[in-house]
Amino acid sequence: MLRASHATSPDACSEAEYDSGCGRNGEASISDRASPSRVACTAQSKGLVGYFHACLIRGEIVEDLKVFQHFNSLFDDFSYQDFATAPLLAHYTSIEVAEKILMENTIWLSNPLFMNDLEEIRFIILNGTQILQGSSEIKAACGNGDRYKTFRTHFDNLVNQFSNEHAVDTYIFCLSEYDEASEKDGLLSMWRGYGANGNGVALVFDPKKIIEVPDSPLWIGKVDYLSRDKRIEWIGSLAKRFSDLFQSIDITDEQVGWAAIQLFERLKLFALFTKHLGFHEEREWRVVYLRNRDVAKALDKFFHYWIGPRGIEPKLMFEISSISGVSDPSLALENLFHKILIGPSVSSPIAKLMIQRMLQKCGKASLCEKVFASDIPYRPS
């Protein structure tokens, strides 16, 4: 279903991807040399994986590929977890939302601009952009004014593309690590904050049952928790690492754009997979939809909205089913469940029976044996 969150290797491209992304059946041909200017402008809409990764693999531009791969080490500190070793993950929510998930076989992904950490993505993109744009180390690494101007043109185009087109349709589905041995009743802080103050449920999923689809626009990764100062410090270290890499390779002016792409992608992933240190108890993992990687726009039909206390918000109503290029044919919602945990404020024999009845009405009777009640003695005041 998902692609694990780590730097995508651009040499993992098929002939079909080449044809659909930049070859005989696509908008651009190899004669265009898949120039970084096309990537930073029009080609961005075709997606990093499907467009320039596919173009790069062609032998005619192997030197561009080498430049692109040279900056892969920017992603070495990016949290990566194989599905085979990923922990159980719980989604705390209300019973009403859980019913919709079960009835409609859908999960609703939220836009990070509306998340509870106000510094989450906006803070990193705005401050990160300013720091990287004003970095004396990057400017010195470019070597001359014209090359630095070329770099800034590419980088600024990527920032504007994300801000104006992709940010509104970037989505997140939040989960929390679930430890069966030490926290079988769930986390009280999560029940209070996300599980309807103990009146909801925790849907516990087993990610080991998810089969990865290469180049899926859905990524999964573990959230890192950092203070504001540590976030700023990390961005500064990114500028330093990028500058060192830039200076250690013979790069032409025409190839500068590939370096800018890698730099902005790393900044964006940092923004999407970090939160303020104050939220560390959540032990969050995220499924993230990356708009620019949805080459075929396979999930456009699931773009939706929700009207709530904060007004109208963009949502992605993702259907748990087989979707070409996104999810494996074997994907089925019922197969992903480890258990359904009833919140401590409503846990009772009757509540358990009613949840099981709801499952039967939703056509998920096989999940009835996986319903359990939290024994935390919590009653909201």
**What's the confidence (pLDDT) of residue 134?**
96
**Across 255-261, average pLDDT:** 94
- Strand pairing category for 171-178 and 88-93: antiparallel
- Mean pLDDT calculated for residue range 93-111: 96
3-class DSSP state for residue 304? Answer: strand
Beta carbons within 10 angstroms of residue 136's beta carbon: 9
- CA-wise closest residue to 112 among 97, 101, 123: 123
Could you tell me the two tokens for 343? 């919140």
Confidence (pTM) = 0.83
330-334 average pLDDT score: 92
pLDDT at position 300 is 96
pLDDT for residue 110: 95
Q: Is the pLDDT of residue 190 over 70?
A: yes
Side-chain half-sphere of 362: how many Cα atoms within 13 Å? 23
d(CA 364, CA 216): 27
135 SS3 class: coil
Rounded CA separation 102/272 (Å): 27
CA-nearest of 292, 280, 187 to 227 is: 280
Binning pLDDT at 50, 70 and 90, where does residue 60 land? Answer: very low
Mean of per-residue pLDDT scores for the chain: 84
Counting Cα atoms < 13 Å in the Cβ hemisphere of 73 gives: 12
pLDDT at 336: 95
The confidence score (pLDDT) of residue 75 equals: 92
- Note the pLDDT tens digit of each residue in 170-183: 999 999 999 999 99
Confidence of residue 118 (pLDDT cuts 50, 70, 90): low
- Model pLDDT for residues 205-245, shown as the tens digit of each residue: 999 998 888 888 998 889 999 999 999 999 999 999 999 99
Q: Measuring CA to CA, which residue among 288, 277, 267 is closest to residue 124? A: 267
Average pLDDT, integer, range 134-152? 94
Tokens of residue 56, six digits: 């790069």
173, β-bridge pairs: 287
* Nearest to 186, CA basis, from 172, 173, 199, 167: 199
3-state helix, strand, coil in the chain (%, to 5): 50, 20, 30
